[in-house]
Amino acid sequence: MTNLATGVWYAIAADHDLVDGHVYRTVLGGHELAVWRAQSGTVQVWDDRCPHRGVRFSLGEVVGDDLRCQYHAWRFGPTGACTFIPAQPQMKVPGTIRARTWPVAQSGGLVWTGIDPAGPVPDLPPGTVARAIPIARPAAEVAAALVALEGLAPVVQPLDAGTTMVRAIATDGDVPRADRVLVALRRRLESAV
Ligand code: FES
Do 131 and 94 reside in the same domain of the chain? no
CATH number at 34 reads: 2.102.10.10
Helix (H, G, I), strand (E, B), or coil: what is residue 72? coil
- Which of 123, 146, 171 delimits the end of a domain? 123
84 in ligand 1 pocket by Cβ < 6 Å?
no
Q: Using CA positions, which residue lies closest to atom 1 of ligand 1?
A: 53
Strands (E) in the chain, as ranges, are 10-14, 24-28, 31-37, 43-47, 61-63, 66-68, 75-76, 82-84, 105-107, 110-113, 128-129, 133-135, 152-160, 163-170
Give the torsion sign (CA, 15, 3, 5, 130).
Answer: negative
pLDDT value of position 188: 94
CA distances from 136 to 60, 133, 150, 164, 166 (A): 29, 10, 22, 6, 11
Do 48 and 113 reside in the same domain of the chain? yes
Q: Ligand 1 pocket test: pick from 72, 76, 83 the residue with the most ligand atoms within 8 Å of its Cβ.
A: 72
pLDDT value of position 163: 97
CA distances from 137 to 14, 39, 49, 166, 174 (A): 21, 37, 27, 11, 26
Q: Identify the domain containing residue 161 by its residue range.
A: 124-191
pLDDT value of position 148: 74
Do 106 and 13 reside in the same domain of the chain? yes
Do 70 and 139 reside in the same domain of the chain? no
Do 105 and 146 reside in the same domain of the chain? no
Q: How far is the CA of 54 from the centre of ligand 1 (A)?
A: 7
CA 106, CA 76: separation in Å to the nearest integer? 21
CA 185, CA 149: separation in Å to the nearest integer? 10
Identify whether 3 is part of a domain: no
Block means of pLDDT (10 residues each) for the chain, 193 residues, are: 84 96 97 97 97 98 97 97 96 95 96 96 92 95 87 93 95 92 95 81
Do 111 and 29 reside in the same domain of the chain? yes
pLDDT value of position 108: 93
Q: Ligand 1 pocket test: pick from 46, 47, 55, 82 the residue with the most ligand atoms within 8 Å of its Cβ.
A: 55
Do 43 and 65 reside in the same domain of the chain? yes
pLDDT value of position 1: 58
Residue 150 is classified by DSSP as T
CA 184, CA 82: separation in Å to the nearest integer? 45
Tell me the sheet residues that pair with 153. 169
Per the structure, how many domains does the chain have?
A: 2
- Which of 74, 107, 123 delimits the end of a domain? 123
Do 119 and 146 reside in the same domain of the chain? no
